Structure 1
């Protein structure tokens, strides 16, 4: 198939390495797509700063300066950053692909519990360090990468979750939004994806059986094909 977009920028999620994306990136490049993985400050680019969603929007704005004719793929927190960017910069880039994205307030009981725990841990990180068993249980509930986070990024995560409460998806305007979601995602549940699809008028939706939160690890070939199918 002919791929018109010259460059696909990938904004990863809440992780401290881009290595797990290697297979998908290589496959896309083999199919003629120029891929660039952005290193997110505080995660894959070292920083001691506590970030707000506005900080990340400004960071992405600098990365995209003069590069409107690109597609952006945002996974999880990367999707959150891209969505908030588009509320301020409607024509900032050509196409958005959301993969199991975060960014909207979605408080069913299990998800709400994870959010509450994240906020609590951001406040009690030092006392919790004295309770290793309890710490491990909490970290399993909210995701292993949180357990690896330095204190500034624990507060950053709390800031991200708070920003979801005021995010208005109706302000997102771009020529094309494609949403890819895993039916078995327990981090950003499929109900969140359907809510996002409903709010993003004109967006396309595809859901995939057996995909969890990181299909770039578990289903790299299938994810590659899914990206190519929606990429302009």
Structure 2
């Protein structure tokens, strides 16, 4: 399904379906389309919201984890979302989801992390990407996945376009370094909501040892690995990811109140 992007007071976002809300957050080089298979699967039963994070054009003074969490808070307020929702985050989006949950515990009913930063990551964002070097960008994008074929020409072209802009690169580096400095190890014990961790067994950016550490630090969290899968399970193994997500949502659903 083609995602329909809505605009409201400077926010661009996907808003599909109705029901309990799934709030999806993409990563540093991510896009709304990263969650396309989740939208296709769940929008018939849930309201799926995906804000486009202003990674490439936010003010440099706000370019960092705190600024992005503030953006999500503003987005939630703008669309008038009052009920607690399920927050899902991939990579940097997972990091933002964690801090959002810590800052707004009553607004989060459940948390789903996949390839999340917040403890450790090894990515292209920490140094200035090689401008104009298509082969380098192609190699780094392929590094995200177990199967390099998932790194389509369209996806590589999109990242290459970003790395050709000095202004965008500067923001990427600033945000990536903010994420690296913002280690959450001492705070994760404060997360009380049901939490699902879905990790690629072949993730080279946030390796399986990172998933085990999240599992240890977030009490009661559930950890599931997908074999032959890299840093973005919802893209590389969408059917398996959706099956695990559906099972988690059903198991942790709050029973409806009796009249």
The TM-score range, normalised by the shorter chain, is 0.7 to 0.9
Q: How is 1:66-81 mapped onto 2 (pairs within 5 angstroms)? A: 66-81=81-96
Aligned residue pairs total 210
Supply the RMSD in Å over aligned alpha carbons. Answer: 3.1
What's the TM-score once normalised by structure 2's chain length? 0.69
Q: Partner residue of 1:140?
A: 140
Structure 2 stretches lacking a partner, 5+ long: 1-17, 145-155, 254-259
Deviations 1:133-176 (A, max 9, x none): 9x938973986759735222222211111112776212333x31
C-alpha deviation, 1:216, in angstroms: 2.2
Structure 1 length-normalised TM: 0.76
Q: Tell me, which stretches of 5 or more residues in structure 1 are unaligned?
A: none
Structure 2 match to 1:181: 199
Q: Which has the higher contact order (CA 8 A, sep 6+)?
A: 1
Name which of 34, 42, 50 aligns with 2:47. 34
Given that 1:24 and 1:220 are in contact with CA atoms closer than 8 Å, whether structure 2 keeps it comes out as yes
SS class of match (2:105): coil
2:246 counterpart of 1:228: yes
Moved more, 188-197 or 6-15: 6-15
Partner in structure 2 of residue 164 of structure 1: 183
Specify the SS of the correspondent of 2:53: coil
Check the 8 A contact 1:84/1:167 in 2, yes or no.
no
- How far off is 1:179 after superposition? 1.2
1:227 is displaced (CA, Å) by 0.9
Q: Which residue of 2 is the match for residue 95 of structure 1?
A: 110
